Amino acid sequence: MEKEAAKLVVEIKESIKRLKLQPLRARVEEIERVSHSSDFWNDRSTAASQMQELKRLKQKVDPWFEIEQVAEELQELASMNDSKLQPEISSGLEDIRRRLMQLNMQLRFNGPYDDHGAIISLSAGAGGTDAQDWTQMLFRMYMRFFERNHWHYRVIDESPGEEAGLKSVVLQVEGDDYVYGKLRGEHGVHRLVRLSSFNADHLRQTSFAKVEVVPKIDSPSEVAIDNKDLKVNVFRSGGHGGQSVNTTDSAVRITHIPSGISVVIQNERSQLQNRETALTLLRSKLAQLQLQQHTQALNGIKGPNQSAEWGNQIRSYVMHPYKQVKDLRSQYETSDIDAVMDGKIEPLIDAYLNQKSIF
Which residue ranges make up each domain of the chain?
Answer: 2-108, 113-359
User: Mean pLDDT lowest for which of 137-146, 247-256, 341-350?
Assistant: 247-256
Tell which residue, 359, 328, 329, 334, has the closest CA to residue 346.
334
Lowest mean pLDDT of 12-21, 30-39, 68-77, 180-189, name the range.
12-21
Residue 352 pLDDT greater than 60, yes or no: yes
Topology of domain 113-359, CATH: Alpha-Beta Plaits (3.30.70)
Q: How confident is the model at residue 194 (pLDDT cuts 50, 70, 90)?
A: very high
Poorest-pLDDT segment among 44-48, 54-58, 126-130, 300-304 = 300-304
Residue 60 confidence (pLDDT): 85
Given this model, what pLDDT does residue 279 score?
A: 87
pLDDT value for 297: 39
Taking the CA of residue 315 as centre, how many other CA atoms within 13 Å lie in the half-sphere pointing to its CB? 25
* pLDDT tens string 278-322: 888 888 888 888 777 653 433 343 444 555 555 678 999 999 999
**What pLDDT is stored for residue 305 in this prediction?**
54
Among 116-125, 238-247, 280-289, the range scoring the smallest mean pLDDT is 238-247
Strand partners, 235: 251
Residue 238 sits at φ, ψ, to 5 deg, of -115, 10
Per-residue pLDDT at 11:
92
Percent of all residues in the chain with a pLDDT value above 90, rounded to a whole number: 50
Class of domain 2-108 (CATH, top level) = mainly alpha
Phi and psi, residue 53, nearest 5°: -60, -40
| Beta strand 313-318 pairing with 188-195 | parallel
Least confident of 2-11, 77-86, 143-152, 229-238: 229-238
Q: Would the pLDDT of 29 be above 90?
A: yes
pLDDT at residue number 182: 94
pTM of the model: 0.71
Q: What is the pLDDT of residues 338-349, one digit of tens each?
A: 999 999 999 999
Mean local confidence (pLDDT), 188-205: 87
Q: What pLDDT was estimated at residue 1?
A: 79
Q: 168 pairs with which residues across the strands?
A: 123, 159
